[in-house]
Chains A and B, each alone.
Chain A
């Protein structure tokens, strides 16, 4: 905590999630890959060692002074317990290899064990180390894929959309197994020291499925899953649109929603006001080429649009910054938030410091 910060990161985040204004706008740099870059390692080596990941996250927070640790490794790690493989790349997140679940084998699926899986264990070990390092100074954000979105990796997107529309029995059978896995995985991370869980659910966005179908699927699954997760949750739509479903998202019990930049942030704020907090919405792809001025302008614009009254955490649009986002851009974002994000000032005044 610096002299100008009256709150710890955890206090700041909890205050804004309570729809009150903390000392300044909290911000999350969801740079899960950048620890590897800092250490001169490829993602494959970095994510092999939970201690490196913990040290990476602690070091990144110290450097950029953001308000969380991100215990997320990469989305495809959830494929290991289902028998899947992962493709590593030196310049991006590891990705899921071939689909492992097909419609015909859904009825025989069993819920994989979480605690004994060596790959998920690495995440839990890293989370424990982060907790030892950070205590109650800043929240640790764990991640799960929603039961409704996980099949994009399990089955492949096209096959999964066909399943949703054409094979309801198998679809709901898969949802039951996935829900159990998701709840166990989330609760294991909370037990290891995560403060909150980010529930990645891009398929629920109207970008992916029709709004009316969301009510029967993603919403219902969210309600029955998030209610069993023993800690606070944020739902992330990973760049998908949120406005059409914003009135219904709070029914799931989620405290915040990760939003993209294809929708007007002021409209999102008006739609969510007092009911659900916003997490977003800086464009992580454009960020790769931002200079200091562009970063500052983007930060000020987002703060002006959504920070009043709390209920807002500044972050990126997708929940994972590309590895190509340079140090200068992240540093410029941090400086801009610390400079212009103080509460107790009228929107826009922060531009003058």
Chain B
């Protein structure tokens, strides 16, 4: 298995989508396709995500790897499989600005990890709150790039509190990385510094852990 993980990592870092898919198809067990996702794809994506935080890998590695893995997950997992994971009802949104890359990376990584996530795209505070109400969300992931947008997440948290909804709010993006205490000041439940933090946080929530 270590050889497969190493080879898969190499195809992702080379942005070799065809090679990665071929390797996946050669090694996936048709009866248990999720095993490949859990034992190969997710660990490699996590390693690349941690490498980005440490400066070893780039955001381009993270994005292109996530995208390749999302495509592979779509190929090897039957549509029903994603839903059978039974994860919390979750949506992801970009608050106010048009910088969608972070959201796309998190979305791809979570889907590659078997989580179904509603994609709200770029939203205002009011649109996000309406979505939470409509979809009865358990988890809301918010991605921002700009500092004013980060401050706006406080309004989302307040709106959810006013509605009595117990939706957990997880934030991510550059302002939260630059000031690690900012997520607390805006009242979020947790912060992710990479897509793979998001994956870890989702697993924690799914397992009834922290947050």
Interface positions of A (Cβ within 8 A of B): 87, 89, 91-93, 95-99, 156-158, 161-162, 164-165, 206-211, 213, 239, 241, 244, 261-263, 283-286, 288-289, 317, 322-324
Question: What are the residues of chain A within 8 A of B148 when measuring CB–CB?
Answer: 89, 91-92, 322-324
Task: List the one stretch of B26-34, B95-103, B128-136 in contact with chain A.
Answer: B95-103
Q: How far is the CA of A167 from the CA of B147 in the complex (A)?
A: 33
B79 is an interface residue with CB less than 8 A from chain A = no
Chain A nearest CB from B105 CB (Å) reads 8
CA distance A89 to B147 in the complex (A): 12
Could you tell me the distance in whole angstroms from the C-beta of A47 to the nearest C-beta in chain B? 16
Central interface residue in A87, A89, A156, A285, by most chain B CB within 10 Å: A285
* Docked complex Cα distance between A161 and B178 (Å): 23
Contacts A158-B104, A165-B15, A210-B60 known; A98 to B178 CB distance under 8 Å? no
Residue numbers in A under 8 Å from B99 (CB-CB): 157
Q: B147 contacts which chain A residues (CB < 8 A)?
A: 92, 285, 288, 322, 324
Please, how many angstroms separate the alpha-carbon atoms of A87 and B95 in the complex? 13
Besides A89-B148, A324-B148, 10 other A-B contacts (C-beta < 8 A): A95-B97, A158-B100, A161-B64, A207-B55, A207-B59, A210-B60, A211-B58, A288-B147, A323-B148, A324-B151
Contact residues, B37-72 vs A (CB, 8 A):
52, 55, 57-61, 63-64, 67
Are B182 and A285 interface neighbours, CB within 8 A? yes
Q: Given A87-B98, A95-B146, answer yes or no on A209-B179 (Cβ-Cβ < 8 Å).
A: no
Find chain B residues with CB under 8 A from A263 CB.
Answer: 55
B15, B96, B175 pick with most chain A CB within 10 angstroms: B15
Q: A95-B146, A157-B100 are in contact. Are A286 and B55 (CB under 8 A)?
A: no
Given contacts A95-B97, A98-B98, A324-B151, contact A210 B61 (CB under 8 A): yes
**B residues less than 8 Å from A93 (CB atoms):** 146
Query: What is the bound-complex CA distance between A203 and B58, given in angstroms?
Result: 10
Contact A89:B96 (CB < 8 A) given known A158-B63, A324-B151: yes
CB < 8 Å neighbour of A157 from B101, B146, B174, B182: B101
Are B100 and A156 closer than 8 Å at their CB atoms? yes
What residue of chain A has the Cβ atom nearest to residue B176's Cβ?
Answer: A285
19 sampled A-B residue pairs with Cβ under 8 A: A91-B148, A92-B149, A95-B98, A96-B98, A99-B98, A156-B98, A157-B99, A157-B101, A158-B100, A158-B104, A161-B60, A206-B58, A207-B55, A209-B58, A210-B61, A285-B147, A285-B182, A288-B179, A322-B147
A158 to B64, CA, bound (A): 9
